[in-house]
Structure 1
């Protein structure tokens, strides 16, 4: 599900999508580092929201603190001009992780 809304100033796009971590070991150090690297490739401010806590997707420490084990759900939110592209790419990355045996 994508929630897309424009900020009142019409310059800021906010896109949110609920994600579920499905790879066997969850978002542990190696996939979390790749997730952060990909997130940092976008200009949008990207946040993981889990249990009402917000974690920066551009910080490895924050992503690990989100404790995204297998089956965990979180909201992925991006704010900025490339928000939709960021959310789509990160969601695809999570699907790629699920298909990898070593992660």
Structure 2
């Protein structure tokens, strides 16, 4: 299992628009990816509702989990660290 831990960069956290952008990227990757907040239980990173339910705010640490998908996790981590709420 590959993991990446990253700090949420969007000022509104992983809410609405940022969550939608993240889940679209996960779906496009075609690899099952899970995301967790702190030590919490990982949820499906392709589900907007699941990602929003985490309640991850700006500056929170989240961890991405996937099987043998290092390059994809690197790309998703970079995405989460950016301001996904900007146009």
Q: Runs ≥4 in structure 1, deviation > 4 angstroms?
A: none
Correspondence for 2:5 among 18, 21, 38: 18
Distance in 1 between the 2:67 and 2:46 partners?
13
Q: Partner of 2:77 in structure 1?
A: 91
Structure 2 alignment gaps of length 5 or more: none
1:45 alignment partner, SS class: coil
RMSD between superposed Cα atoms in Å: 1.8
Query: Distance between the aligned counterparts of 1:23 and 1:61, measured in 2?
Result: 17
2: distance between equivalents of 1:90 and 1:75?
10
CA contact 2:5–2:77 (8 Å) conserved in 1: no
TM-score w.r.t. the length of structure 1 is 0.73
Structure with bigger gyration radius: 1
Compute the TM-score of the two structures, normalised by the length of structure 2.
0.84
Q: CA deviation at 1:93?
A: 1.0
**Bigger relative contact order, structure 1 or 2, given CA contacts below 8 A and separation 6+?**
2
Aligned residues: 86
| CA deviation profile, 1:68-98 (whole Å, cap 9, x unmatched) | 1011112111124xx1121011112123326
By percentage of residues, which structure has more strand?
1
